[in-house]
């Protein structure tokens, strides 16, 4: 189930007794845990009815679940860093046999920060009990709604286009978006609305956004700006190969644009195929207009060949990224 399914079952009081939280979206995961606590644990009785175990033995888990709640209907048992969900170890058969027998007076939650191994017996056992809850990153429209609601909580009005622009600029991590919303909201206390100009001036660009800006600089033949953007990311600890993979992804998107334009697709068809908001499509179309289809194809090949050369040991990754950018800059100068 996803976070919406979890919310619905929680409201109905129909959650299974054994749950496993997994997925990349930590904000939603932490919020679900807070909602679960609020639903199960009476005010003032939280500490008496919640047990958190880190890397416990099976007997500790079972004993905690068998402990009756105090002045409450159910006890919450949270297990973190369960070793049998990753690595080489498997869950003890005693624990696996116990899971279907967790009493109605307890909720057993395996809380995973990293993606657990779906092949593990414990994962399969919880899945059989319909207890897997996956917290995936929100989609574009969900993200825009999240941002507009967050601004509303700050007393600010934000239209959908501006919300999409903030997501495009700062990425899809909800904790990061909340931080950006708080920062932008505190900028002009006299205004009740948020403008795209404020987002452009104040929001912290994500790596994806910086790569997009780098491509913009390459397209405009602004080599100094392109390398300044690159150096800024490297100083912040960004991985060269990850930046290269993002550069490859960017030019692949431009390649798709050129192909769909050749096929006489409408702008809406192109936008839908790329899965980007309208304002972003305009920027992709602008970038693609500076290249022929053959040049974009060659840029993709340069990125791919560089990535392969580094991974196969034929090229040292130090300098490989810069060399790839220079080759692409050279392509853009030869219309």
Structure confidence at residue 335 (pLDDT):
43
**pLDDT (tens digit per residue) in 247-272:** 888 888 889 999 999 988 888 888 88
8-state DSSP, 110: E
In terms of phi and psi (left: phi > 0; alpha: psi -120 to 50; beta: otherwise), the region of 107 is: beta
Q: What is the DSSP track for 231-257? A: HHHHHTT--HHHHHHHHHHHHHHHHHH
Distances in Å between the alpha carbon of 144 and those of 138, 177, 269?
A: 9, 10, 21
Structure confidence at residue 180 (pLDDT):
92
Q: Are 290 and 222 in contact (CB under 8 A)?
A: no
Q: Any idea which of 98-107, 302-311, 314-323 has the lowest mean pLDDT? A: 314-323
Q: Any idea which of 50-54, 83-87, 93-97, 108-112 has the lowest mean pLDDT? A: 83-87
pLDDT of 279 > 80? The answer is no
Task: Read off the pLDDT of each residue in 303-328 and give the average, rounded to a whole number.
Answer: 85
Class of residue 131 by CB neighbours under 10 A (exposed 0-12, middle 13-18, buried 19+): buried
H/E stretch holding 108 reads: strand 106-111
Q: What is the DSSP track for 10-55? A: HHHT---SEEEEESS-HHHHHHHHHHHHHHHS-TT-HHHHEEEEES
**pLDDT (tens digit per residue) in 201-247:** 888 888 778 877 877 788 777 888 888 888 888 887 778 888 888 88
Confidence of residue 332 (pLDDT cuts 50, 70, 90): low
Mean pLDDT for the chain? 86
Strand runs labelled E in 161-248: none
**pLDDT (tens digit per residue) in 36-87:** 999 888 887 778 888 899 888 888 899 999 888 888 888 999 999 888 787 7
Task: Read off the pLDDT of each residue in 116-134 and give the average, rounded to a whole number.
Answer: 88
Structure confidence at residue 113 (pLDDT):
83
The reply to whether the predicted model has a pTM over 0.75 is no
What percent of the chain shows pLDDT beyond 70? 99
Q: Which domains are delineated in the chain?
A: 3-134 (3.40.50.300), 140-202 (1.10.8.60), 207-332 (1.20.272.10)
Task: Read off the pLDDT of each residue in 292-301 and give the average, rounded to a whole number.
Answer: 89
pLDDT of 134 > 90? The answer is yes
Q: Are 79 and 110 in contact (CB under 8 A)?
A: yes
**Residue 90: count of CB within 10 angstroms of its CB:** 13
pLDDT of 137 > 90? The answer is no
Structure confidence at residue 178 (pLDDT):
92
Class of residue 168 by CB neighbours under 10 A (exposed 0-12, middle 13-18, buried 19+): buried
């Amino acid at each position: 189930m996803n976070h919406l399914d979890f919310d619905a079952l929680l409201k109905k009081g129909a959650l299974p007794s054994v749950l496993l939280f997994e997925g990349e979206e930590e904000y939603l995961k932490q919020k679900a845990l807070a909602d679960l606590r609020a639903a199960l644990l009476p005010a003032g009785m939280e500490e008496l009815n919640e047990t958190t175990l880190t890397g416990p033995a099976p007997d500790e888990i079972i004993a905690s679940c068998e402990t009756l709640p105090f002045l409450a209907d159910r006890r919450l048992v949270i297990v973190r860093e369960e070793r049998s969900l990753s690595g080489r170890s498997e869950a003890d058969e005693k624990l696996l046999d116990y899971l279907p027998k967790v009493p109605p007076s307890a909720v057993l939650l395996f809380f995973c920060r990293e993606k657990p191994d779906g092949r593990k017996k414990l994962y399969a056992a919880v899945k059989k009990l319909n207890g897997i809850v996956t917290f995936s990153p929100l989609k574009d429209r969900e993200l825009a709604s999240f941002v507009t609601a967050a601004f509303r909580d700050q007393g600010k009005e934000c239209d959908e286009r501006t919300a999409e622009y903030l997501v495009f600029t700062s990425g899809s991590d909800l904790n990061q978006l909340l931080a950006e919303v708080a920062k932008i909201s505190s900028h002009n206390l006299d205004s009740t609305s948020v403008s795209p100009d404020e987002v452009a001036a104040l929001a912290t660009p994500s790596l994806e956004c910086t790569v997009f800006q780098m491509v913009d600089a390459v397209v405009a033949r602004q080599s100094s700006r392109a390398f300044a953007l690159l150096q800024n990311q490297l100083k912040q600890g960004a991985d060269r190969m990850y930046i290269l993979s993002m550069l490859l992804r960017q030019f692949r998107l431009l390649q798709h644009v050129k192909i769909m334009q050749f096929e006489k697709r409408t702008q809406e068809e192109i936008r839908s195929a790329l899965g980007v908001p309208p304002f972003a499509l305009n920027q992709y179309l602008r970038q693609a207009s500076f290249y022929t289809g053959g040049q974009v194809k060659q840029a993709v090949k340069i990125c791919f060949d560089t990535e392969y050369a580094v991974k196969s040991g034929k090229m040292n990754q130090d300098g490989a990224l810069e060399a790839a950018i220079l080759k692409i800059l050279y392509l853009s100068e030869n219309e």
